[in-house]
Chains A and B, each alone.
Chain A
């Protein structure tokens, strides 16, 4: 059993030279960590940290996401280019969020002023 779980699986045909089979320990360990982090994020959210609540929640979610990507999605074992795809796309998504939030928050007073003017009018 242990031989089959090494990074090159003996049972795989020759073409599968780079196949990695994740061990039960790694799978179970990961899911245990994910469960624990879920509990932590719930507990932390019950404490009022002000703006830090969002930061903490997103931070924990990111750690969980990295765990899933690294172990369940095999990123730890293979394909540096897959990491580039995942991280690259996440970065572009973040840039979209970042730029749009940056801009909308800056022009928001103009929306509020108009809303106030309309309320006055009625």
Chain B
């Protein structure tokens, strides 16, 4: 890598507080280097343009004693070719640097370590991460310095997985897979955002990525969380948070995209077709497995069906019941 010549410039940018997020992947350094290069080239040219403008306005303003322009050439091909070819050379440099970095960012690393492969599913408005050992979670867990491959999919509309600290972003497109390749280089917790507009709660479609300091820490996380012995309500609470139900169904009665689950148990609700239904186990199950079957009046029919395990279903039912019945 041609790191040394740009290092001071990059450092200057990085030193500006709050200007750039931390650098947490193998890709980040390369990106920031090119950013620094373009930044300083741009800063130079902007300063040049503004300086020339101000200088000329001050010196050549039409004023008493200077009412007429001084004769100058109306073109100068050599000069014009100069400001054709200097920018050309500069953009060539940008293109060359960036393309090398881009291919590194978008292809698997030629490393001996086996990559950590995680399937990512975006749906309105939550992320779901299936890790290699079969462990699914609403958080992405990775290992520092271990090459990683993310396979992205979407069940409804286009989303985009964006981690500012990783300097990476990739759309998750329904009907196909997309991929990301990188190696985390900094242990810690970073935000996962959605960068492609996807509707009402686009700005709340957030998750976290946890980069473990070593494989052992990751393995320890992967083993835990199988809730043997937990009560159904606890199972329900876990499933409810993990599957991102709360993005649309609030726990405190706030109206979001879907009805809140607070205090609805046993309640008669009006449906879009004009009929009513009592919120009981059957209705809750149906609403999870076939959400479009009976939609509550005043809410859009947008919920994707979720194929939950039987125990998780029971858990949700118990959890909603625990949220209080209508007095």
Contact = CB atoms under 8 A, between A and B. Distances in A.
8 contacts: A110-B176, A110-B178, A110-B179, A111-B175, A113-B176, A113-B177, A114-B177, A117-B177
Contacts of A110: 176-179
B200 to A, nearest CB: 26
Contacts of B176: 107, 110-111, 113-114
B128 to A, nearest CB: 15
Interface residues of B, number: 6
A113 B177 CA distance: 7
Contacts of A117: 177
Contacts of B153: 114
Contacts of A114: 153, 175-177
B308 to A, nearest CB: 15
Interface of B: 153, 175-179
Contacts of A113: 176-177
Interface in A79-122: 107, 110-111, 113-115, 117
Given A110-B178, A114-B175, 7 more contacts: A107-B176, A110-B177, A111-B175, A111-B176, A113-B177, A115-B175, A117-B177
A87 to B, nearest CB: 28
A110 B179 CA distance: 9
A115 B179 CA distance: 16
A65 B175 CA distance: 38
Contacts of A107: 176
A118 to B, nearest CB: 9
Contacts of A115: 175
A82 B178 CA distance: 45
A119 to B, nearest CB: 13
Contacts of B179: 110
B178 to A, nearest CB: 6
Q: Which 10 A-B pairs give the minimum distances between C-beta atoms?
A: A111-B176, A110-B176, A110-B177, A114-B176, A114-B177, A113-B177, A114-B175, A111-B175, A114-B153, A110-B178
